[in-house]
Amino acid sequence: MKIAMGNDHSAVELKNAIQAYVESKGYEVINFGTDSTESCDYPVYGEKVGRAVASGEADYGIAICGTGIGIGIAAGKVKGVRVCTCSEPYSARLSRMHNNTNVLTFGARVIGVEMAKMIVDEWLDNAYEGGRHQRRVDQLAEIESRG
Ligand code: RB5
């Protein structure tokens, strides 16, 4: 399983820690993020992660900026991407089970590394339930196709 990771300048340290963590869980990481702390623009990296997931180059995406919000908005602009931006594990878990999210984002200026690991665990270790949720996920795609 491959995970596309991306980040802006605010999240280099957290990206490195989370990359090492998901690799230790057996995932392969494709790093689309910056490795520099020089100021840069989060939409660039959110789009890269979104496109990698939408194209199938990666199975999932994890993107980090200061809040997780900007990079999540950017990734979510790519057709087929469903983003979960969260600061606690419960929402991460339910976003997989009910919303079939394929990109997770969080904020390096919002949560610490141990919380980020708990969020990642809940997100990666829980599967989409399908069933009654599929109708709603299909409706999300219909909204997207209406532009
Ligand atoms: C960068 O200063 C900051 O705006 C960015 O990392 C992010 O928080 C945007 O949503």
Question: Any catalytic annotation for residue 65?
Answer: yes
Ligand 1 pocket residues where CB is under 6 Å? 8, 10, 42, 65-67, 69-70
Pairing of strands 83-85, 60-65: unpaired
Report which protein residue has its CA nearest ligand 1's atom 7.
66
Q: Give the 3-state secondary structure of residue 35.
A: coil
- For residue 60, which of 7, 129, 5 has the smallest C-alpha distance? 5
Q: Give per-residue pLDDT as tens, 111-140.
A: 999 999 999 999 999 999 999 999 999 999
Q: Give per-residue pLDDT as tens, 46-105.
A: 999 999 999 999 999 999 999 999 999 999 999 999 999 999 999 999 999 999 999 999
Question: Any catalytic annotation for residue 98?
Answer: yes
Average pLDDT value for the chain: 98
Report which protein residue has its CA nearest ligand 1's atom 4.
66
Q: Give 102's DSSP letter.
A: -
pTM: 0.98
Tokens of 115: 């919380």
* Candidate list 9, 84, 98, 133, residue with the active-site label: 98
Q: Give the 3-state secondary structure of residue 107.
A: strand
Report which protein residue has its CA nearest ligand 1's atom 10.
70
* Candidate list 9, 65, 84, 86, residue with the active-site label: 65
d(CA 12, CA 15): 5
| Residue 7 confidence class, pLDDT cut points 50, 70, 90 | very high
